[in-house]
Amino acid sequence: VLIPSPKGEIKGFITSCLCPRTYALKELVEVYWQRWEIERGYGELKQYQLANKPILRSLKSEGIYQELWGILTSYNIVRLEMAAMAKEHKVEPLRISFLNALYLIQDEFIWASGRSPGAVPNALKMLRENGKRLILPNKRKRKAYPRAVLKRPAKYPTRTREKKATRS
């Protein structure tokens, strides 16, 4: 079964949901891709934004909620700015580098922190205009390699028949 997806075509789809009326294949694939995008978002948040460190420092539940909302808000700000950059430069939002956008936005806010609040919108406008350098190249189609079992290398060198014949 060839199923169109955001990343190309899927040649097959395995699921434990057996009833095709209750679980239509097309709907399952759409939900799968939505879940995959959510997982990628969690990965970006944990690996890049939080640098794989547990940083919740508060000892009270109110403080933990405040920290979590701050993390999620900042993640969404970066994503909104990436979407604005993509729109301004007429590319897909996924072609904007999350990591580079995160660092650039952090630098801009640190730079604008000592200035008046009116400087932030101007800084973001300049950031969007300079966002062209954050655009990733188009993904190339890679040559497909068939799956194969690799031969395990021997611990010791083996003799060939020719070497045995010359020694005797």
Which tens digit of pLDDT belongs to each residue from 48-66? Answer: 787 777 777 888 989 989 9
- Tokens describing residue 116: 């008046």
- Continuous segment of H or E residues that includes residue 8: strand 8-10
- Name 3's bridge partners: 10
> What's the pLDDT tens digit per position in 156-166?
877 776 655 55
Q: Which amino acid, 167?
A: R
Report the residue count for the chain: 168
Tell me the whole-structure pTM to 2 decimals: 0.58
DSSP code, position 115: S
